[in-house]
Structure 1
Amino acid sequence: MSLHGLLIAAPRSGGGKTTVTLGLMRAFRKRGLRVAGVKSGPDYIDPAFHRAALGRDSFNLDSWAMDAALLGGLAGRAAQGANLLLAEGSMGLFDGVPAALGRSGASADVAAALGLPVLLVLDASGQAQTAGAIAKGCALFDNRVKIGGVMLNKIGSPRHLLLAKYGVEAAGLRVVGALPKQAEIILPERHLGLVQASETAQLEARLDVLAAFIESHVDLDAVLALAAPLALPHVAPRALTPPGQRIAIARDDAFSFLYPHLLADWRARGAEFCFFSPLADEPPEKNCDAVWLPGGYPELHAGRLAGNSGFLGGLRQFAQLKPVHGECGGYMVLGQSLTDADGTTHAMAGLLSVETSFAKRKMTLGYRDATLLSDCALGRQGQKLRGHEFHYASIVALGADEPMALAADAYGGEPESSGSRRGRVSGSFFHCIAEVS
């Protein structure tokens, strides 16, 4: 079988995309297909679940942050050696930001760019034939996108299924599956979405249950028939210049939000990785060229991190000679202090003067167009980057450090100072997705 692909999307968030995607991934893998995964939009957590379901990395594809060459190249890299590419959408199928056609960040852009038909997951709770009107609206909204079939979700009874299916088929669309309400298959969540794959108890067993659930209620052959043949480029996509030849990267339950496509890009350019665990009180290796502290959930482990003198001492010593960068959670740990949700303030590395707090949660979310104000681990002065912010922490005090960048949102707002820089140390709540060439 040559490479075929399909995008799994929904009219809104919380409609069942992840449940369906993971179940299909594991079910098709059990059938012997070589399945690859990608995720539309800036999401760290879902690709880690894809990896668990498939046994291979899943990449993020973002039409706002990535140009067509990078998006297509990463899709080709993700699908290398596979015969089925399953893409998981984000939010609603057409939800994005105001932008030129194809650059809004919407899942529909990814479908259009790669020629992926859409399997539309419809939460039919609280409605019946009206599901057909919603499906038809999605089919007609954007002529770049083809709705290949519909999967009904949260079906309450045989009569409910009969009516909802009638509505969808009356709209000229095919129903390929119907999932009953079943609370026990839902994966656990916390404030940034699902609990991380690494923290989910009995994940392999849960994925097998999801696969069995999908197999029982979905026509897998019909779903496979919806997938279209793909011809993806096999090029060397360039996303972000590596911060060094040998990079020390924090990796554990407190630091896990680093895009797989960046690691793949850096590795393809010859970079080596030395992973270390701050939670295990491990310092970065001294012979590395740079330290990268990804985002994650340091607020859940702030007391433990504050007491890990080996990690903090090694980090401070490293920063005297070589670059250190922190994204979001990593930024908070580089600062003076972090106040947890209980209101307890914990001393952090003190390499930047910022003080952050979770005591009063405030969500910050959105794309960012950033320009570096000076050389740092992310690039040279003047380098333009695209990425996003998603956090609930607040800045209590910035201190006297210089800002790392100027960053604007995707809605035409004026650029504002972002992040902090002191000497060789830099950090911000900005998660970088790609350089702007």
Structure 2
Amino acid sequence: MTMPGRPHPPGLLVAAPRSSSGKTTVTLALMRALARRGLAVRGAKCGPDYIDPAFHQAATGYPSVNLDSFAMPDAMLDSVAAMAGRNADIVIAEGSMGLFDGIVAGEGRTGANADIAARYGWPVLLVLDVSGAAQSAAAVALGFARYDARIRIAGVVLNKVASARHRRLVEAGLAQVGIPVLGVLMRDATLALPERHLGLVQARETGDLTARLDRLADLAEASLDLDAILAAASGHLPEVSDFVLPPPPGQRVAIATDEAFSFLYPHMEAGWRAAGAELVAFSPLADEAPSETCDACWLPGGYPELHAAKLAASSKFLNGVRAFGEHKPIHGECGGYMVLGTSLEDAAGITHPMAGLLPVATSYKARKLHLGYRVATLIDGGILGRAGARLVGHEFHYASELTEPPSEDIALALVTDAEGKQLGMAGHRRGSVSGSFFHLIG
């Protein structure tokens, strides 16, 4: 497939030594401030994350994409990166976890933020949470500057600075090692966006989001050296003539879309549309059923556990999904998988009946974190591909299965982790209906 676009805007990666350092705050402040100056800003998120890209879109006015050096084949990774740069003046990517955090794999395939910065020549704006440190923060920055010869640290943004004296001490240490300070954010708890167990509360649920973003832009104008940051941006996005993106599950696809079902990766949707598929949204929370005119149905992940009672009472939705699944394919990812199951127990221990199309019961009362890449080999052909096809995705949920693990005759796939450790059978399939806890990426 072909897509138009200018292929070579400069880029910048906002990264940090660890999670909860302030990457999202700095990223959104920078995006909003530059967009307010009239620049065409495009966002990207390194690694598997379906919440932050929606905030990027709210800040810039344009869709954001995920870039994943482990889960995406090279051709797909470059296609998605080229999408990010289309008609852009600058691409601002946000890292996940720490800059070098990933799996043990070959160079450039670890899933770490650094892989993306190196591949596209994007300099790194390093966000340092300096609470509890002063000159020692310079040693951290110096270590990051020297750890990987593939990348370049353009400068640092100091976050959670306690006082003018604290700032002077930190800046003195950084001056000693020759790393420029491109911004300083004082300690301010009101800057944090609301969170829940999978990260930030979704953009669509943050009622005062526009005001928050504008406040962050004001903060960026006052506290970041925007001109120096712009001047530091560089890189070389690939020229792609034949875009390689995920194929659609059908040509007219019903997609559940509301506060309970919203975790669909932007590059998946873009790939489906680019292949000519028509996407028809419906809202289970509004008790809407998938359109009978569609030839496939997709239930993304989200937060069905927060709406379990309402979903259980949505008879038009549940009956419509059951009727659809009698003759046409349905796939559910994570939250969608749970709703296709027999029941969902919420955090209060109340069990709610679900669609009953797959033999799985799940619980959020017995919470257990499941996190990591999943490499799946399909056991049988279906909506996701032929038997034996290899798919890569990511799992991140706190739900537990109350039913026994699936046997091979009803399992969706045989799954390993990113380093090849066997995890056994995963997901379910019954007739034309399938589902699993992992979200497909590549």
TM-score in same-fold range (> 0.5) = yes
Letter in 1 for 2:108: G
Deviation of residue 240 (structure 1)? Answer: 2.0
2:24 matched to which residue of 1? 18
**Equivalent of residue 251 in structure 2, options 217, 237, 245:** 245
User: Which whole-Å CA distance do the structure 2 matches of 1:431 and 1:146 have between them?
Assistant: 32
Letter in 2 for 1:417: M
Q: Secondary structure of 1:208's partner?
A: helix
The answer to whether structure 1 residue 430 and structure 2 residue 433 are counterparts is: no
The correspondence of residues 257-296 of structure 1 with structure 2, limited to 5 A, is 257-296=263-302
Q: Is the 8 A contact 1:35 1:85 kept in 2?
A: yes
| Structure 1: runs of 5+ lacking an equivalent | none
Q: Is the 8 A contact 1:11 1:92 kept in 2?
A: yes
Letter in 2 for 1:75: A
Deviation of residue 341 (structure 1)? Answer: 0.2
The alpha-carbon distance between structure 1 residues 236 and 259, as it changes in their structure 2 partners (threshold 3 A), is farther
The correspondence of residues 33-182 of structure 1 with structure 2, limited to 5 A, is 33-182=39-188
Letter in 2 for 1:412: G
Deviation of residue 229 (structure 1)? Answer: 4.2
Q: Secondary structure of 2:213's partner?
A: helix
2:367 matched to which residue of 1? 361
User: Which whole-Å CA distance do the structure 2 matches of 1:212 and 1:290 have between them?
Assistant: 45
User: Which whole-Å CA distance do the structure 2 matches of 1:228 and 1:69 have between them?
Assistant: 22
Letter in 2 for 1:152: L
Q: Is the 8 A contact 1:367 1:409 kept in 2?
A: yes
The correspondence of residues 339-358 of structure 1 with structure 2, limited to 5 A, is 339-358=345-364
**Equivalent of residue 406 in structure 1, options 407, 414, 417:** 414
User: Which whole-Å CA distance do the structure 2 matches of 1:231 and 1:382 have between them?
Assistant: 33
Q: Secondary structure of 2:332's partner?
A: strand
User: TM-score w.r.t. structure 2 length?
Assistant: 0.96
Q: Secondary structure of 1:37's partner?
A: strand
Deviation of residue 345 (structure 1)? Answer: 0.2
2:310 matched to which residue of 1? 304
User: Which whole-Å CA distance do the structure 2 matches of 1:298 and 1:116 have between them?
Assistant: 37
**Equivalent of residue 320 in structure 1, options 320, 326, 329:** 326
Between the two proteins, the alignment pairs up a number of residues equal to: 434
Deviation of residue 412 (structure 1)? Answer: 3.1
Q: Is the 8 A contact 1:247 1:274 kept in 2?
A: yes
The answer to whether structure 1 residue 194 and structure 2 residue 205 are counterparts is: no
User: Which whole-Å CA distance do the structure 1 matches of 2:272 and 2:102 have between them?
Assistant: 28
Q: Is the 8 A contact 2:79 2:245 kept in 1?
A: no
Once the two structures are superposed, what CA deviation does each residue of 1:110-142 show, in whole Å capped at 9, x if it has no partner?
Answer: 001111000000000000001100000000000
Once the two structures are superposed, what CA deviation does each residue of 1:321-350 show, in whole Å capped at 9, x if it has no partner?
Answer: 100000000000000000000000000000
Q: Secondary structure of 2:107's partner?
A: coil
Tell me the C-alpha RMSD between the 2 structures: 1.2
Letter in 2 for 1:63: S
Q: Is the 8 A contact 1:59 1:260 kept in 2?
A: yes
The alpha-carbon distance between structure 1 residues 236 and 203, as it changes in their structure 2 partners (threshold 3 A), is farther
Deviation of residue 169 (structure 1)? Answer: 1.8
Q: Secondary structure of 1:12's partner?
A: coil
Farther-moved stretch of structure 1 (268-277 vs 226-235) = 226-235
Farther-moved stretch of structure 1 (233-242 vs 45-54) = 233-242
User: Which whole-Å CA distance do the structure 2 matches of 1:67 and 1:215 have between them?
Assistant: 38
Letter in 2 for 1:361: R
Letter in 1 for 2:386: R
Deviation of residue 415 (structure 1)? Answer: 4.5
User: Which whole-Å CA distance do the structure 1 matches of 2:423 and 2:347 have between them?
Assistant: 30
User: Which whole-Å CA distance do the structure 2 matches of 1:274 and 1:187 have between them?
Assistant: 31
2:3 matched to which residue of 1? none
Letter in 2 for 1:319: G
Once the two structures are superposed, what CA deviation does each residue of 1:52-107 show, in whole Å capped at 9, x if it has no partner?
Answer: 00111100000001122221221111210011000000100000001110000000
1:383 matched to which residue of 2? 389
Q: Is the 8 A contact 1:369 1:407 kept in 2?
A: yes
